[in-house]
């Protein structure tokens, strides 16, 4: 059978309020007995474009191709639910789809989550395929993919760029590759000046809340440090894309060879951005461990957190004070997290529902790798380090001998023996990790400080939903003891989002239960715990 093909043409409107999509599918067949197309309803907690009856027009060699829409809501984790499309008859020849997706103004309110939805501002728009594309329901076949831009309705000089490349591109890959592609088009700024097909390329809309030219120049140097460390010269170009966000923002979303940064109205410190960009670029070289994302994310996210400090500091791109402050931020996040004893196999079910669980994958992973690094250095008389284990894992991936938990166990046993496996099992079980005093270098020392853990008592994500329904209530929490119940609907709060971020000691809510509105307030101060702090001597 000939290779299936997807030819995708994107045409934003002059007002930048919609994007028209024309898709031609070749060597793809549709039958009336099962869905052949899909698009996300929710992906990684982000709500996407809602397509209804008549919004998608399909045709083939025989004429109009009727479509029936159903929904797959079986995934309740918050990661992925899908709208499915079934043909009313068996298709003949190429299938053409035509539809349009709304572009939301960038500064419209939105809940936190990856930067997948379509947002427009300052003469352009940006988003991801996850947010609006309708694609074949087929995860196994490799497609020939063509992505084309039709920018005739935009102002002169408009440019279309994606994490697949600059302008129109032809590539191959699974359907997933198009879904996870970030897109930006319109009046774009770029760095370096000749960005397009360089090893590192940055494009953004509007005026970021940081010194973009200086930060991007630093980021190019950090990218070169990563490329030299991994000795990778054949990877595809990397694209960093930027767009505005209505609130103070410290993230965005990553894909295989790119990252979307969202910048808010508050000025960002240079160091925080540099750490974040290095973390995201690290994924370009290391990727993610094979396996369910939530339960395997300790590897990719933990390594990215560890090396975002190690490699730039080693190369002289950071000073010691910046490194110390970032290490303190990460270790505090781990030790002060009330969910830090959660077993690893329980993370996936809550990953997209609770930010504390999501953060745990990052910072428990970082602490674990700091511990492994210290023990490898000690066992080898400072001749080897975590670097050697990471490079061995990448060799295993290149050689086809595995890039999963089993491969990590092999590498770990070869380096540290049974004790390394025991430490790994303890991490997976949720046991607290206490790396040695020199885990972050000989010029650091470890001390113990007592702190009161912040405990909201329920999933903070529910405060960002509409309606705001209390979920994940912890029965023994102060919130539950104050009378809050699972299923209560929050009708008023005293800036709950800001109070949550600032870890306010007292939380105030008005909730509706049946016909009654009940005021509830409670302490967010949890247990007194000891945490480890690393400071320079």
Residue at token pair 């709950």: 496
Which region holds residue 55: left if phi is over 0, alpha if psi is between -120 and 50, else beta?
Answer: alpha
How far, in Å, CA of 302 to CA of 361, rounded?
7
- 436: Cβ contacts below 8 Å, ≥ 6 apart: 371, 374, 375, 378, 446
> What pLDDT shows up at residue 494?
55
| 3-class DSSP assignment, residue 498 | helix
Q: CATH for 450-529?
A: 2.30.42.10
> What pLDDT shows up at residue 499?
47
Contact 519, 475 (CB under 8 A): no
Q: Which two tokens stand for residue 456?
A: 């909201």
Domain boundaries, the chain: 1-187, 192-286, 320-442, 450-529
- Degrees to nearest 5, angle at CA 160 with 285 and 110: 75
DSSP H or E stretch at residue 6: strand 5-12
Q: CATH for 192-286?
A: 3.30.2010
How far, in Å, CA of 396 to CA of 36, rounded?
36
Question: Residue 287's CB: how many other CB atoms inside 10 A?
Answer: 14
| 3-class DSSP assignment, residue 30 | coil
**72 phi and psi, to 5 degrees?**
-110, 105
> What pLDDT shows up at residue 5?
97
pLDDT tens sequence across 262-319? 988 888 788 888 999 999 999 999 998 998 777 899 999 999 999 999 999 999 999 9
pLDDT tens sequence across 36-63? 999 999 887 788 999 999 999 999 999 9
- 498: Cβ contacts below 8 Å, ≥ 6 apart: none
pTM, two decimal places: 0.85
> What pLDDT shows up at residue 504?
67
Question: Please, what are the averages of pLDDT over each run of 10 residues along the chain (537 residues)?
Answer: 92 97 97 96 86 95 97 80 95 97 89 85 95 90 97 96 96 94 96 89 93 91 95 88 81 86 84 91 92 87 97 95 95 92 89 82 96 98 98 95 96 97 98 96 92 82 78 88 92 57 74 92 85 93
Q: CATH for 1-187?
A: 2.60.40.3650
Which region holds residue 509: left if phi is over 0, alpha if psi is between -120 and 50, else beta?
Answer: beta
> What pLDDT shows up at residue 503?
57
- 156: Cβ contacts below 8 Å, ≥ 6 apart: none
| Beta bridge partners of residue 18, listed in sequence order | 102
Q: Which two tokens stand for residue 518?
A: 């009940």
- Nearest in space to 118 (alpha carbons), one of 211, 186, 57: 186
């Amino acid at each position: 059978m000939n290779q299936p093909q997807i030819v995708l043409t994107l045409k934003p409107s002059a007002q930048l309020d919609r994007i028209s999509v024309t898709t031609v599918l070749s060597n793809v067949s549709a039958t009336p007995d099962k869905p052949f197309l899909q698009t996300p309803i929710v992906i990684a907690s982000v709500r996407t474009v809602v397509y209804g009856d008549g919004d998608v027009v399909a045709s083939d060699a025989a004429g109009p191709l009727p479509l029936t829409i159903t929904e797959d809501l079986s995934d309740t984790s918050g990661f992925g639910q899908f709208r499915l499309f079934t043909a009313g008859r068996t298709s003949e020849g190429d299938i053409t789809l035509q539809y349009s997706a709304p572009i939301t103004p960038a500064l419209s309110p939105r809940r936190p989550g990856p930067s997948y939805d379509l947002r427009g501002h300052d003469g352009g728009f940006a988003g991801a395929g996850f947010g609006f594309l309708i694609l074949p329901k087929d995860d196994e076949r490799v497609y020939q993919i063509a992505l084309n831009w039709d920018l005739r309705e935009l102002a002169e000089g408009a440019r279309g760029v994606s994490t697949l490349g600059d302008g129109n591109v032809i590539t191959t890959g699974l359907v997933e590759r198009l879904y996870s592609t970030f897109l930006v088009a319109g009046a774009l700024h770029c760095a370096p000046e000749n960005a397009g097909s360089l090893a590192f390329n940055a494009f953004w809309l509007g005026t970021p809340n940081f010194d973009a030219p200086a930060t991007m120049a630093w980021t190019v140097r950090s990218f070169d440090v990563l490329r030299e460390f991994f000795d990778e010269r054949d990877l595809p170009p990397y694209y960093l894309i930027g767009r505005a966000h209505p609130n103070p923002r410290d993230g965005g979303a990553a894909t295989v060879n790119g990252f979307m940064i969202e910048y808010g109205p508050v000025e960002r410190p240079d160091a925080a951005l540099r750490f974040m960009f290095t973390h995201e670029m690290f994924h370009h070289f290391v990727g993610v461990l094979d396996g369910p994302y939530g339960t395997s994310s300790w590897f990719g996210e933990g390594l990215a957190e560890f090396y975002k400090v190690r490699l730039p500091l080693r190369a002289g791109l950071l000073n010691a004070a910046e490194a110390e402050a970032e290490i303190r931020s990460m270790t505090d996040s781990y030790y002060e997290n009330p969910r830090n004893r959660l077993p690893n196999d329980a993370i996936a079910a809550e990953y997209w529902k609770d930010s504390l669980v999501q953060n745990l994958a990052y910072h428990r992973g970082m602490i674990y790798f700091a511990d492994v690094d210290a023990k490898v250095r000690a066992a080898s008389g400072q001749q080897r380090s975590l670097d050697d284990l990471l490079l061995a894992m990448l060799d295993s991936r290149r050689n086809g001998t595995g890039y999963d938990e089993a491969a990590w166990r092999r590498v770990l046993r070869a380096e540290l023996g049974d004790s390394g496996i025991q430490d790994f099992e303890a991490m997976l079980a949720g046991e607290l990790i206490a790396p040695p005093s020199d885990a972050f270098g000989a010029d650091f020392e470890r001390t113990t400080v007592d702190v009161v853990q912040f405990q909201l008592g329920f999933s903070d994500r529910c405060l960002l939903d509409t309606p705001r329904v209390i979920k994940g209530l912890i029965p023994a929490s102060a919130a539950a003891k104050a009378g809050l119940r699972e299923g209560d609907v929050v009708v008023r709060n005293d800036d709950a989002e800001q109070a949550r971020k600032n870890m306010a000691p007292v939380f105030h809510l008005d909730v509706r239960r049946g016909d009654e509105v009940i005021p509830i307030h409670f302490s967010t101060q949890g247990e007194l715990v000891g945490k480890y702090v690393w400071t320079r001597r």
